[in-house]
Amino acid sequence: MLLHAEDVRKSFGAVAAVSDVSFDIQPGELVALIGPNGAGKTTLFNVISGLLKPDGGHVVMDGVEITSLPAHRIAHNGIGLAFQITNIFPRLTVFQNVQVALFSARGRSGSVRTFGPRALRDEVQEILVAIGLIEFAQLSAGALAQADKKRLEVGIALAVRPRLLLLDEPTSGQSAEETTLTTDLIRRINREQALTVLFIEHKMGVVFGIARRVLVMHNGRLIADGDPQRVRQDEQVQRAYLGEVG
């Protein structure tokens, strides 16, 4: 297995955001994590990625215990994360955003002037081609459309060469056309790069359109885990979540 989570717990005061959650992710899977607002999905992501320390349980990545490692160490162990709220450098070009991420992944710091305009050029272009933004390489990232900003953040996450990519609501705020572009990107990187993807999503058309496995959380607990059709028909899932959206 690639990722193993066992009895993961995280509380904020008296609120149990994640309660004894256990699951495994196999290499190459494309998995959706769904549930109502407040179910604990993003908290679970933040524990896996090291942004939050769990109160209990274990997270193991490819045989290495990462439960209490800092986020940068977890990233170097092969986990990339793209946030729900876009996290880019708006004043840098699209090219420079990916370039800085690549240098950071190699443990090097400095300004883009330090790196030079051609440093890691081939690797940057490879990522920009993969995310469909090569034509915008010299555009300021802040000038991109919202959907393209999300794709750029995926590119930044790809710069750490992850084996597992966590995407928090990758199609949030996007039109139907933009959503199609984003879901096509997720499918493509999963297929062409053999990259394992775990993503949070509220659009059920996206979930049941591309996920090959679905995890469902409710009140901090994992209440279902299986193929999309089985999860869709699960009565507990329908009562807890799917019924809310028709």
Kindly report, residue by residue over 76-111, the tens digit of the pLDDT.
889 998 876 667 999 999 999 999 989 888 765 555
**Greater model confidence, 105 or 243:** 105
Quick one: average pLDDT of 197-207?
95
What confidence score (pLDDT) does residue 243 get? 65
SS3 for the chain is: CCEEEEEEEEEECCEEEEEEEEEEECCCCEEEEECCCCCCHHHHHHHHCCCCCCCEEEEEECCEECCCCCHHHHHHCCEEEECCCCCCCCCCEHHHHHHHHHHHHCCCCCCHHHHCCCCCHHHHHHHHHHHCCHHHCCCEHHHCCHHHHHHHHHHHHHCCCCCEEEEECCCCCCCHHHHHHHHHHHHHHHHHCCCEEEEECCCHHHHHHHCCEEEEEECCEEEEEECHHHHHHCHHHHHHCHHHHC
Quick one: average pLDDT of 174-203?
93
Quick one: average pLDDT of 167-188?
92
| Tens digit of each residue's pLDDT (9 = 90 or more) over 53-77 | 999 999 999 999 999 899 989 988 8
Quick one: average pLDDT of 224-245?
85
| Tens digit of each residue's pLDDT (9 = 90 or more) over 102-160 | 988 876 555 555 556 666 889 999 999 999 999 999 999 999 998 899 899 999 999 88
